[in-house]
Amino acid sequence: MRFDFSFVNQRNSRIAGFVLALCFVGFTLLSTNKLIQRIQENERQQMELWGIAQQELATSTDLNKPVNPLTFQVLTGENTIPMIVVDHDNKLLFSNNIDDRKLVQDSIGYVEKLIQQFSAIHTPIEILDRENLNQKMYYGNSYLIHQLRYYPIAFFLIVAFLGGLMVAYYKSTQQVVSNKLWTGMAKETAHQLGTPISSLLGWLTILDQHDVDEKILDQIKRDIKRLETISARFSKIGSLPNKKEVKLSAVADDLVSYMQIRMPKEVALHIHKNGDEKQVEVNSELIAWVLENLIKNSIDAIRGKGTITIDMSWESTAIVTVQDTGSGMSKKLQKTIFNPGITTKKRGWGLGLSLAKRIVEQYHGGKLRLAESSEKGSTFEIQLPLKQKYS
């Protein structure tokens, strides 16, 4: 089996990118957490300073003495930290940055709820009056800390969005390059086939003038016609296919009759049609190419005697299954079987199934998938849209 080293390199690049992304995420979370801790420590110091100022004000016995300007500034300064001050019976004495409407509706219940909530976040600060516990201050996190907690999520969403755009752009660019390469190879192949086909047609004309068995000439003509069909297929890669309304069974019958006398005698090829046939709009040459590729793969998978069965049915879509009694594929190979360069043949390029999938899905809007594969054989399924009827 040949391995696509470019695919391996892509996988290693993805793993490296994932590891770097994890490191970046870890660094961002760690940095944000440290910033939040510093802000929380700063807010703790602010609350402790507010408690000292409140304690100084509460212990002042001379009411005519002016309040210390620093104490006044600390107590009246603005901040965004939610806080409540209660007495020893948990009665509210003071609040800041608290929802006043909830206090009016249920003062006692709301204060109890805030005490439990703030206690879970920070240790309350005790305000003493001559060494006796007089008041307790409970406080929560400021609005800034709440914003910072959501910052990594918003940041990662933005980075993921930009990363997605970059990946989409990269994939589209790679797809364009890949399409041009495929198109160039296909058209060059068609061009190269033109000369020997023309030469063979000339030799066939000469043979036709001599006493040669008609059956032999008929088979040679069919083979040359087959080469012309293959050349036409390659020449159509990269351009929109000329689709016509056809009977899918006729395309399959023609292919089966051609291949039955050219495949190993140990391998039997059968075709079954289930239900009433409905018309499809396809390029018959390209669809025949897909079926031929699946049949050839089945022949290669069968070691000794075996059977290849083509089942056709028409429901909401036209369904064609190609089932063989070959050796099957490993689970690892099943995941990559449609990737270019993946093959089990010593001399294969690994392009057949990739091309087949492109023909069915991109050119005809259908689906091609590996339905199942085991030691008893493999089954491929083709789904093609039916011809739309307009009233």
In a domain, 17, yes or no: yes
- Beta carbons of 96 and 54 less than 8 angstroms apart: no
Between the two ends of the chain, the Cα-to-Cα distance in Å is 52
Do 246 and 117 lie in one domain? The reply is: no
In a domain, 185, yes or no: no
- Beta carbons of 136 and 92 less than 8 angstroms apart: no
Q: Which of 99, 123, 141 is the last residue of a domain?
A: 141
How many Cα atoms within 13 Å fall on the side-chain side of residue 151? Answer: 15
In a domain, 80, yes or no: yes
Q: Supply the DSSP symbol for 311.
A: E
How far apart are alpha carbons 165 and 161 in whole angstroms?
Answer: 6
Strands 267-274 and 306-314 come out as: parallel
- Beta carbons of 332 and 268 less than 8 angstroms apart: no
In this structure, what CATH number is given to the domain that contains residue 32?
3.30.450
In a domain, 167, yes or no: no
Q: Which of 90, 112, 141 is the last residue of a domain?
A: 141
How far apart are alpha carbons 101 and 118 in whole angstroms?
Answer: 19
The residue to which tokens 């805030």 are assigned: 114
Structurally, the chain folds into a number of domains equal to: 2
Q: What is the span of the domain harbouring residue 43?
A: 5-141
Q: Which of 85, 118, 141 is the last residue of a domain?
A: 141
How far apart are alpha carbons 214 and 189 in whole angstroms?
Answer: 31
In a domain, 286, yes or no: yes
How far apart are alpha carbons 379 and 372 in whole angstroms?
Answer: 5
In this structure, what CATH number is given to the domain that contains residue 331?
3.30.565.10
CA angle 193, 196, 197 (to 5 degrees): 75
How many Cα atoms within 13 Å fall on the side-chain side of residue 90? Answer: 11
Is the model's pTM score more than 0.75? Answer: no
How far apart are alpha carbons 258 and 272 in whole angstroms?
Answer: 17
> Going residue by residue through the chain (391 aa), what tens digit of pLDDT does each one get?
444 445 456 667 777 777 887 787 788 778 877 887 788 788 777 777 777 776 666 666 555 666 666 666 666 666 778 888 888 888 888 888 888 788 777 778 888 888 888 888 888 888 776 656 578 888 888 777 777 777 778 877 888 888 888 888 888 877 777 667 767 777 777 667 777 777 777 877 888 777 778 788 888 888 887 787 777 767 766 666 788 898 999 999 999 988 888 888 899 999 999 989 999 999 888 899 899 999 998 998 898 899 999 999 998 999 999 999 998 888 888 888 888 766 666 555 556 788 889 889 988 999 999 999 998 899 999 999 998 765 4
How far apart are alpha carbons 207 and 225 in whole angstroms?
Answer: 16
In a domain, 196, yes or no: no
In a domain, 174, yes or no: no
In a domain, 33, yes or no: yes
φ and ψ of 330, to 5 deg: -70, 160
- Beta carbons of 82 and 73 less than 8 angstroms apart: no
